Amino acid sequence: MRENDIILQTVSKVAVFIILTFGVYLFLSGHHNPGGGFIGGLTLSSAFVLLYIAFDVESVNAGIPLNYKMVAAVGVLIAICTGMGSLLFGSAFLSQSSAYFNLPVFGKTGFATVTLFESGVALGVVGVVITIMVSISEDV
Amino acid sequence: METIITLLIGVLVSVATYLLLSKNVIRVVLGSAILSHAIHLLLITMGGLKKGGVPILGGKVETYVDALPQALILTAIVISFAVTAFFLVLMYRTYQSVGTDNLHEMRGTNDE
Amino acid sequence: MNNILVFPMVLPIIAGVLLLFFRSNPKVQRWGSILTMVVVFLISLWILEKVMDEGILRLDFGEWAPPFGITFVADAFAMLLVTTSSLVTILCLLYAAFAKDEKREKFFLYPFLLLLIAGVNGAFLTGDLFNLFVCFEVMLLASYVLMTLGGEKKQLTEGIKYILINILSSWFFLLGIAYLYGTLGTLNMAHLSQRIAEVGQPPLLTTISILFLIVFSLKAGLVLYFWLPGSYEALPTAISALFAALLTKVGVYALFRSFTLLFYHEPSITHTIIGVMAMITMIGGSIGAIAYKDVRKIVAYNVIIAIGFILVGLASNNVESIQGSIYYLVHDILVKGLLFLMVGTVIYLTGKTRFDQVSGLITNYPLFGWIFLITLLSLGGIPPFSGFAGKLLIGKGALVAGEYVMVAVAFLSSLFVLYSLLRIFLNMFWGETSILKKNQIYLSKGMLASCLILAMLTIGLGLGMSVVSPYVAEAANVLTNPNLYIEGALNND
What is the domain range of residue B68? Answer: 2-103
The pLDDT of residue B85: 87
> Rounded CA gap, C76 and C478, in Å?
8
Per-residue confidence in pLDDT tens, chain A, 140 aa: 456 688 888 999 999 999 999 999 999 887 777 778 888 999 999 999 999 888 888 888 888 888 888 899 999 999 988 888 888 887 888 787 777 777 777 777 777 788 888 899 999 999 988 988 887 776 65
Tally of CB atoms within 10 A around C283 = 16
**Is B96 part of any domain?**
yes
Count of domains for chain C: 1
Contacts of C238 (CB under 8 A, 6+ apart): C92, C93, C95, C96, C99, C101, C341, C344
Distance, CA of C126 to CA of C131 (rounded, Å): 7
Instruction: Give domain status of residue C394, yes or no.
Output: yes
**CB-CB under 8 Å, C151 with B97:** yes
Task: Determine which of B76-85, B103-112, C296-305 has the lowest per-residue pLDDT on average.
Answer: B103-112
Percent over 70 (pLDDT), chain C: 99
- C364 close to C442: Cβ distance less than 8 angstroms: no
Stretches in chain C below the pLDDT threshold 50: none
Residue C492 maps to a domain: no
Chains that touch B (3 or more CB pairs under 8 A): A, C
Flag whether C491 is in a domain.
Answer: no
From the centroid of its chain, how far is CA C164? 21
Residue B9 maps to a domain: yes
pLDDT of residue A15: 94
Minimal C-alpha gap between C60 and chain A (Å): 7
| Chain-chain contact of C1 with A73 (C-beta, under 8 angstroms) | no
Instruction: Of C285, C273, C280, give the one whose Cα is nearest residue C213.
Output: C273
- The minimal CB distance from A135 to the residues B56, B78, B89 is found for B89
- pLDDT of B52 > 50? The answer is yes
- Per DSSP, C71 falls in state E
Does residue C379 belong to any structural domain of this protein?
Answer: yes
| pLDDT grade for B108, boundaries at 50, 70 and 90 | low
Contacts of A31 (CB under 8 A, 6+ apart): A110, A112, A114, A115
Instruction: Specify the pLDDT at position C308.
Output: 93
Interchain proximity A136–B56, CB inside 8 Å: no
* B44 within some domain: yes
DSSP secondary structure letters along A104-115: TTTEEEEEEHHH
**pLDDT recorded at residue B59:** 64
* Residue B96 touches chain C, beta carbons under 8 Å: no
Query: C120-139 burial, b if ≥16 CB within 10 A, otherwise e?
Result: bbbbbbbbbbbbbbbbbbbb
Task: Please report residues of C whose CB lies closer than 8 A to that of A94.
Answer: 61-62
Residue B108 domain flag: no
CATH code of B32's domain: 1.10.287
Name residue C308's amino acid.
G
DSSP string, B24-77: BHHHHHHHHHHHHHHHHHHHHHHT-----B---TT-S-S-B--HHHHHHHHHHH
E strand or H helix at C72: strand C71-74
Cβ-Cβ pairs closer than 8 A, A with C, add up to: 41
Mutation target vs A (from B73, B77, B88, B89; most A CBs, 10 A cutoff): B89
Q: What's the domain count of chain B?
A: 1
Domain of residue C359, residue span: 3-483
> Which of C325, C328, C309 has the alpha carbon at shortest distance from C317?
C325
